[in-house]
Amino acid sequence: MEVPSARPFFNNEDIKFILNDIEESLKTGILTFGPNIKKFESLFAEYIGVKYAIAVNSGTSSLEIILRYFNIKEKEVIVPTNSFVASANTVIFAGGKPIIADIDPKTLCIDPSDVLKKITQKTKVIMVVHLAGLIPPQMKELQEICLDHNLILIEDAAHAHGAMIDGKKAGSLGVAGSFSFFPTKLMTTGEGGMITTNNEKLAELAKSLRHHGKEGDVHTRLGYNWRMSEVNAILGIYQLKRLDENIKKRNEVAEKYSNGLKKINGIDTIFVPQNIRHSYYKYPIILPRNMDAFKLGETLKKMYKIATGTLYYPPIHLQPVYKQLFGYTEGMLPVAEEILKRELCLPMFVEMSDEQITYVIESLTETIHTMPV
């Protein structure tokens, strides 16, 4: 049996409607800035529970636009080390300096206590990453830190479409949220991103920056080609329609994993409090101490054709470019450095069958029992 780590899902019925809508778009010749962009933005804003949603060409673009709006030049932005490198890169692109923070070993998300240690007079923004689809249970504490220190809280919600805490959705918990629609994500437009906010001026700037700085018939600022196409928006409309039912299916897969993994000694999973809806972009597990996640993943791929992954190793501060630019070295963020070597993501996708889940658990059990610890 071959099991991929992730796979996008399009309902067969939706595919027919998608193709019809694409055909209509082709016939009209409106392939950008058309009715589907407006519809997708409106539906997404309503779903998240904010006033504005602005579609762009990637999650990276959406983050950079947000940071540019807050004018972080020569300012510092605190970013968790356990994230895709784009989270920190956008800070540099926007003229700021990323300050990399350690993580909570129980959630793999940013550690509020380390955030407090990293705040300086230059700090302007705290970027919270909802890792693997989990909004940090300490979200209220992070919000209070921002209030106490007059800082801006933005959400990197690239993993967290539809995730909730206390009934509020990711993307509505800070001043602005950033989403990615890359093919592996919970919902995809092929490529694409979205900004969510209640800030009208941010929304206006985002619409200008994504279209070369244009306002009306003139260009008032330097901008970029960060537009989303009508075809991408069409995909997004139908993916959003299925998001809640797909999250339900992902939670069912996660529950079956959790029950099966109880039989494997030494495996830890991420606890999810009752006030949180995890969207399960990924399903991370923590291996016993001194067990190498990379070697285990290689064995599962080679012996059982099971694709796995990590979130993330090396962490941002140990990526060669960050070591070179900022002088980060091993030992500076000890929690992340230790636990992420033992973190492995099991396959997770909507159409995952019970047979595949059982196969993954049994293969993992066999592999762990034969690996030296």
Q: For residue 313, say if its preceding peptide bond is cis, omega within 30 degrees of 0.
A: no
- Half-sphere exposure of residue 41: CA atoms within 13 angstroms, side-chain side: 23
146 within a domain of the structure (yes/no):
yes
pLDDT digits (tens, 9 = 90+) for 210-228: 999 999 999 999 999 999 9
Beta strands in the chain (DSSP E): 52-56, 76-80, 97-101, 123-129, 152-156, 164-165, 168-169, 176-180, 193-197, 214-215, 218-219, 268-269, 276-277, 283-286, 343-346
The structure's pTM equals: 0.96
- pLDDT of res. 139: 98
Helix (H) or strand (E) holding 322: helix 320-326
Q: Which domain holds residue 26?
A: 12-238
Contact 125, 78 (CB under 8 A): yes
Instruction: At 120, list the tokens.
Output: 């300086």
Kindly state whether residues 265 and 293 are assigned to the same domain: yes
Kindly state whether residues 269 and 205 are assigned to the same domain: no
Report how many domains make up the chain: 2
Strand 152-156 and strand 176-180: pairing? parallel
Kindly state whether residues 266 and 181 are assigned to the same domain: no
Kindly state whether residues 284 and 356 are assigned to the same domain: yes
Kindly state whether residues 338 and 215 are assigned to the same domain: no
Find tokens 């027919």 and name the residue: 16
Domain boundary among 203, 238, 273: 238
- pLDDT of res. 333: 98
CATH number for the domain harbouring residue 354: 3.90.1150.10
Query: What are the contacts of 364-371 at 24+ separation with CB within 8 A?
Result: 364/261, 364/264, 364/300, 365/263, 365/264, 367/296, 367/299, 367/300, 367/303, 367/304, 368/264, 368/266, 368/267, 368/287, 368/288, 368/291, 368/296, 371/291, 371/295, 371/296, 371/299
Kindly state whether residues 76 and 224 are assigned to the same domain: yes
287 within a domain of the structure (yes/no):
yes
Has residue 159 got a pLDDT over 80? yes
pLDDT digits (tens, 9 = 90+) for 227-236: 999 999 999 9
Q: Which of 287, 262, 302 is nearest to 372 (CA)?
A: 287
pLDDT > 90: percent of the chain: 96
Phi/psi at 237 (nearest 5 deg)?
A: -60, -45
- pLDDT of res. 371: 72
233 within a domain of the structure (yes/no):
yes
Q: Which of 135, 130, 165, 161 is nearest to 247 (CA)?
A: 161
Contact 239, 187 (CB under 8 A): yes
- pLDDT of res. 372: 61
3 within a domain of the structure (yes/no):
no
DSSP 242-302: HHHHHHHHHHHHHHHHHHHHTTSTT-EE----TTEE---S-EEEEPPTT--HHHHHHHHHH
Domain boundary among 238, 267, 289: 238
Centre a 10 Å sphere on the Cβ of residue 265 and count the other Cβ atoms it contains.
9
Please, is 49 exposed, middle or buried when counting C-beta atoms within 10 Å of its C-beta (0-12, 13-18, 19+)? middle
- Half-sphere exposure of residue 7: CA atoms within 13 angstroms, side-chain side: 13
Has residue 373 got a pLDDT over 70? no
